Amino acid sequence: MSELSVNHLLGIKYLMESDIQLIFETADHFKEVINRSIKKVPSLRDITIANIFFENSTRTKLSFELAEKRLSADVINFSASQSSVKKGETLIDTVNNILSMKVDMVVMRHPNPGAGIFLSKHVKASIVNAGDGAHEHPTQALLDSYSIRERLGDVAGKNVVIVGDILHSRVALSNIFALKLQGANVKVCGPKTLLPKYVASLGVGVETNLRKALEWCDVANMLRIQNERLDISYFPTTREYTQQFGVNKQLLDSLDKEIVIMHPGPINRGVEITSDVADSKQSIILNQVENGVAIRMAVIYLLASKIKQ
């Protein structure tokens, strides 16, 4: 397969396994490009991309912008906090105003789940979901799987545990979809108050004992507590959460095998993982950041090639 089966990247649940493999193969080429002395290719010289972020972002926004510039696309950045959205303008009006300036693709982060899907039905541009509320974050799940593939050779058959605030995490949901699609075994681990009621129906195991989860897994993806989404108290104190679900070097070293540690960022050091774990040789956190640029280059390139047809 030489092209994606979709015209937008709205979520992993709309992709086929062959789409993921195509994105990975394309990312392999771009990873080689970004490690050269001249890190730019002229692939998207005639494409204009708008980055529209209605929520705060550091890594994702920088990663997308860098990916677009590496492909020689024209880039415009839009921040909702300094825009007419503050004056009551609707999402469709905002985006249509931007599209009237002849923009081909929109990368959007929005606090409301399904915002990208809604937009894709109302505007004539390719939409890339850079995170919609607690729903999905497809490029993060793709770069996570790509990083596992890079470190362990393959994703299929690997045991992956996602630890932490599953209830409020778009990263967790996208990762579950992506890992299951590629044939990995997935478990989630965290306090019962932070595990969604429906999570077992997604075909994943549920574990509330961190040690048992780590003994089972090949890869542990550590999620932060989404404090900005917590409307009530889901556990007594941060200190107690860390004692039950935080990973430290002593715990890692006591396991009978070496596991891979991942984190989508931003890291709350000393809460979900300690500094010596984050900076250890078992951690591939900075590899994830590097791979994020290659994966986003691949996604943008493949979607843009469908626009050009």
| Binding-site residue set for L-aspartate | 87, 170, 224
Q: Residues forming the annotated binding site for carbamoyl phosphate? A: 59-60, 109, 137, 140, 265-266
3-state secondary structure the chain: CCCCCCCCECCHHHCCHHHHHHHHHHHHHHHHHHCCCCCCCCCCCCCEEEEEECCCCCHHHHHHHHHHHHCCCEEEEEEHHHCHHHHCCCHHHHHHHHHCCCCCEEEEEECCCCHHHHHHCCCCCEEEEEEECCCECHHHHHHHHHHHHHHHCCCCCCEEEEECCCCCCHHHHHHHHHHHHCCCEEEEECCHHHCCCCHHHHCCEEECCHHHHHHHCCEEEECCCCHHHCCCCCCCCHHHHHHHHCECHHHHHCCCCCCEEECCCCCCECCCECHHHHCCCCECHHHHHHHHHHHHHHHHHHHHHHHCC
Give the count of beta carbons closer than 10 Å to the beta carbon of residue 81: 10
Asked if omega into 111 is within 30° of 0 (cis), the reply is: no
Q: Residues forming the annotated binding site? A: 59-60, 87, 109, 137, 140, 170, 224, 265-266
**Could you tell me the sign of the dihedral formed by the alpha carbons of 95, 97, 99, 103, in that order?**
negative
